[in-house]
């Protein structure tokens, strides 16, 4: 389907961008002095279950996805790593502007600002930060799913 193809394209494009270590600003760009992005709380299971056809944004680094940190990738999820060049947040915090640019480059957010979006990482920290950034872009139905396993458990049929 068109949406499936678009998600695959986003996943491949974001993965290539992350693997190359490049951005439009170039590797030598200086990070602006910005406060750390706040991490949104992990959403309750019933809130995740109620979402209709959510877009799932996986904020893990590609290596974490490959090693299934927090669980195997959610079907049709889009990998847009929150970390910059694979550096941990404790070493190199990502700014909201940097992640917004990554999302824009991946082209994976819908035009509909009310569309359901679930973010996650391995446990919920970077997924929560991704959630905060997406909300700051005007999206109103964004939820931190915590981890892939948490999302699957919450959305499993009763």
Q: Where are the domains of the chain?
A: 2-23+39-155
pLDDT per residue as tens digits for the range 78-95: 999 999 999 999 999 999
What band does 35 get if pLDDT is binned at 50, 70 and 90? low
Whether the pLDDT of residue 29 is over 60: the answer is no
Residue 88 or 9, more confident? 88
Distance CA 122, CA 132 (A): 17
Q: Is 114 helix (H, G, I), strand (E, B) or coil?
A: coil
Strand partners, 120: 58
Distance CA 110, CA 68 (A): 26
Domain 2-23+39-155 CATH (choose: 3.40.250.10, 3.40.50.150, 3.10.620.30, 3.20.20.70): 3.40.250.10
Radius of gyration of the chain (CA): 14
Distance CA 85, CA 18 (A): 6
pLDDT on residue 157: 87
Distance CA 70, CA 153 (A): 12
pLDDT on residue 1: 43
């Amino acid at each position: 389907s068109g949406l499936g193809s678009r998600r695959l394209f986003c996943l491949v494009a974001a993965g290539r961008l992350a693997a190359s270590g490049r951005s439009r600003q170039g590797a030598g760009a200086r990070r602006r002095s910005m406060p750390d992005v706040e991490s949104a709380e992990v959403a309750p299971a019933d809130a995740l279950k109620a979402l209709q056809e959510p877009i799932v944004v996986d904020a893990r680094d590609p290596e974490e996805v490959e090693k299934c940190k927090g669980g195997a990738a959610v079907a049709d999820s889009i990998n847009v790593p929150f970390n910059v060049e694979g550096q941990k947040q404790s070493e190199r915090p990502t700014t909201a502007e940097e992640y917004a640019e990554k999302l824009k480059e991946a082209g994976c957010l819908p035009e509909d600002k009310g569309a359901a979006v679930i973010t996650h990482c391995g446990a919920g920290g970077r997924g929560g930060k991704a959630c905060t950034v997406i909300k700051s872009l005007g999206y109103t139905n964004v939820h931190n799913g915590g981890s892939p396993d948490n999302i699957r458990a919450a959305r499993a049929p009763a």
